[in-house]
């Protein structure tokens, strides 16, 4: 792995434009003076000033101005521009200490910035020395965003000697699915965008929320294609009988794998729980069990249960709703190790859909479209502050949180684009599932 090159910025006295103007004036006066001397005789001596003297002075003057430009925030060098802007933050916020020594101010302590690039982010480390500006170094969000003209996506204060700020250099490219060959075989992981992936064995279960038209269904379609290509078993509960219910003609044994009526949904979810318990007894609660291993060790194909509009289902039949919720809780608590995962979709992730204790167990959470602050927090969990959106208000945009990534805040997110017609969705889904059944 290549070592990241870090660039350092600290406070020190610098050449300013006023110094350059003063220096220029002195040099110009000197050149004018030399020129006038060369035209007179001094003590009967004919003074001849070589042309090279003038050229050297002018060249040196040009070099000084070039150096000032090169070190400025307008430099053609990106590194120098960033250095100048970070230096301005230190200077203007007085993140340094000076001592008066015989009338001369001497800097004896200064905040140091170290910055570097990784993928689509700029990382800035603010190193303090335990001096009076140390607390300020952890609260530079607004100053750094303004100086760098970049949105902050993460602030990490877990390091004892510095605060780490992460800025988005650009919007991360969304995935484009325009033909069956575009569907990736992630070999156990699911791609979400150019950089983000879902690792079910690390961050089990998915929660997707958003108002009608926000793009929830299309994100589910993308996820289903990816898991189908990897050979996952798919179960779908669609109480509102929308597009997901129509997939019963594309999924092998679709009549038993897709349900819409409350009694059928309860039966199907109960069967998934029974499979989960059988796996647990056979592989993880026997004399041959290997401690610390999961479904991958035993080559068990993962199972995913997609439950669309869980809140609507709860309102259809309270008694069956309570029964199904008890099954879903079991999947959430036991499913990761045995390879049984849950995807819940809802317009409103409040307590009427499921309680907070369940919500906090979802490793991948996505909030699409315009939502209230309360709605975002109900989906994404507790966070300090949502970062600026990098994608505007297009369909399929919102925020994402993936457990175990070390994020303190959710990230701006744009769901993959899928051309349903060009990809021939139902036929492609059926072919992926049938092909994997034949292999097994």
- Residue 198 pairs in a beta bridge with 190
The residue ranking higher by pLDDT, 305 or 356, is: 305
How many angstroms from the chain centroid is the CA of residue 402?
A: 9
- Both tokens of 257, joined, read 């794998």
If pLDDT is split at 50, 70 and 90, which confidence band does 27 have? Answer: low
- Residue 191 pairs in a beta bridge with 197
Per-residue pLDDT reduced to its tens digit, 362-397? 999 999 988 888 888 888 888 877 888 888 788 889
Residue whose C-alpha is closest to residue 323's, from 273, 281, 361, 379? 273
Contact yes or no for 201/187 (Cβ under 8 A):
no
If pLDDT is split at 50, 70 and 90, which confidence band does 77 have? Answer: confident
- The structure's pTM equals 0.82
What's the pLDDT at 270?
Answer: 96
| Predicted confidence (pLDDT) at residue 1 exceeds the cutoff of 60 | no
Of the listed ranges 73-82, 275-284, 288-297, 430-439, the one predicted with least confidence: 430-439
67 CB contacts (<8 Å, ≥6 apart)?
15
What's the pLDDT at 348?
Answer: 76
Q: Write down the residue that tokens 């780490």 correspond to.
A: 164
What HEC string does the chain produce? CCCCCCEEECCCCCCCHHHHHHHHHHHHHHHHHHHHHCCCEECCEECCCCHHHHHHHHHHHHHHHHHHHHCCCCCCCHHHHHHHHHHHHHHHCCCEEEEEECCEEEEEEECEEEEEEECCEEEEEEECCCCCCCCHHHCCHHHHHHHHCCCEEEEECCCCCEEEEEEECCCCCCCEECCHHHCCCCCCCEECCCCCEECCCCCCCEEEEECCCCCHHHHHHHHHHHHHHCCCEEEEECCCCCHHHHHHHCCCCHHHHEECCHHHHHHHHHHHHHHHHHHHHHHHCCCCCCCCCCCCCCCCCCEEEEECCHHHHHHHCHHHHHHHHHHHHHHHHHHHHHCEEEEEEECCCCCCCCCHHHHCCCCEEEEECCCCHHHHHHHHCCCCCCCCCCCCCCCCEEEEEECCCCCCCCEEEECCEECHHHHCHHHHHHHHHHHHHHHC
Domains present along the chain, CATH in parentheses: 7-168 (no CATH), 176-439 (3.40.50.300)
| Predicted confidence (pLDDT) at residue 354 exceeds the cutoff of 90 | no
If pLDDT is split at 50, 70 and 90, which confidence band does 265 have? Answer: very high
CA 40, 46, 52, 57 torsion-angle sign: negative
Per-residue pLDDT reduced to its tens digit, 279-313? 999 999 887 888 889 999 999 999 999 999 887 88
The residue ranking higher by pLDDT, 119 or 115, is: 115
| Predicted confidence (pLDDT) at residue 199 exceeds the cutoff of 50 | yes
Phi first, then psi: give them for residue 303, nearest 5 degrees.
-120, 135
The residue ranking higher by pLDDT, 14 or 177, is: 177
Contact yes or no for 198/192 (Cβ under 8 A):
yes
Residue whose C-alpha is closest to residue 133's, from 166, 97, 162, 160? 97
Q: Give me the percent of the chain exceeding a pLDDT of 90.
A: 49
Contact yes or no for 309/244 (Cβ under 8 A):
no
What's the pLDDT at 43?
Answer: 46
């Amino acid at each position: 792995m290549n070592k990241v090159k870090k660039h350092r910025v600290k406070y020190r006295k610098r050449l300013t434009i006023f110094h350059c103007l003063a220096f220029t004036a002195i040099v110009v006066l000197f050149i004018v003076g030399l020129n006038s001397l060369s035209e007179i005789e001094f003590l009967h001596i004919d003074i001849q000033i070589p042309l090279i003297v003038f050229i050297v002075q002018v060249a040196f003057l040009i070099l000084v101005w070039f150096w000032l430009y090169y070190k400025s925030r307008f430099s053609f060098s990106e590194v120098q521009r960033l250095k100048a802007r970070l230096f301005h933050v230190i200077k203007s916020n007085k993140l340094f200490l000076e001592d008066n020594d015989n009338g001369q101010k001497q800097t004896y302590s200064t905040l140091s910035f170290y910055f570097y690039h990784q993928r689509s982010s700029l990382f800035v480390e603010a190193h303090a020395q335990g001096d009076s500006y140390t607390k300020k170094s952890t609260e530079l969000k607004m100053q750094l965003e303004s100086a760098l003209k970049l949105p902050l996506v993460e602030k990490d204060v877990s390091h004892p000697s510095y605060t780490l700020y992460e800025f988005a250099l650009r919007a991360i490219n969304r995935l484009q699915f325009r033909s069956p060959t575009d569907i990736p075989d992630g070999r156990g992981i699911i791609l979400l965008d150019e950089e983000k992936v879902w690792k079910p064995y690390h961050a089990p279960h998915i929660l997707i929320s958003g108002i009608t038209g926000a793009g929830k269904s299309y994100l589910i379609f993308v996820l289903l294609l990816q898991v189908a290509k990897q050979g996952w078993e798919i179960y779908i509960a669609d109480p509102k009988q929308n597009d997901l219910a129509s997939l019963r003609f594309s999924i092998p044994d679709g009549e038993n794998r897709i349900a819409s009526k409350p009694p059928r949904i309860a039966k199907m979810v109960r069967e998934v729980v029974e499979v989960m318990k059988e796996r647990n007894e056979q592989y993880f609660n026997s004399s041959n069990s290997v401690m610390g291993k999961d479904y991958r060790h035993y080559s068990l194909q993962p199972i995913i249960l997609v439950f669309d509009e869980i809140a609507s289902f709860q309102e259809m039949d309270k008694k069956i709703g309570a029964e199904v919720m008890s099954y879903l809780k079991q999947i959430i608590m036991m499913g990761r190790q045995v390879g049984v995962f849950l995807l819940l979709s809802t317009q409103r992730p409040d307590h009427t859909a499921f309680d907070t204790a369940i919500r906090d167990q979802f490793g991948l959470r996505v909030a699409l479209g315009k939502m209230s602050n309360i709605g975002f927090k109900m989906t994404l969990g507790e966070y300090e502050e949502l970062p600026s959106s990098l994608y505007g208000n297009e369909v399929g945009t919102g925020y994402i949180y993936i457990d175990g990534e070390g994020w303190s805040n959710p990230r701006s997110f744009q769901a993959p684009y899928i051309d349903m017609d060009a990809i021939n969705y139902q036929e492609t889904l059926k072919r992926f599932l049938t092909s994997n059944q034949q292999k097994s």
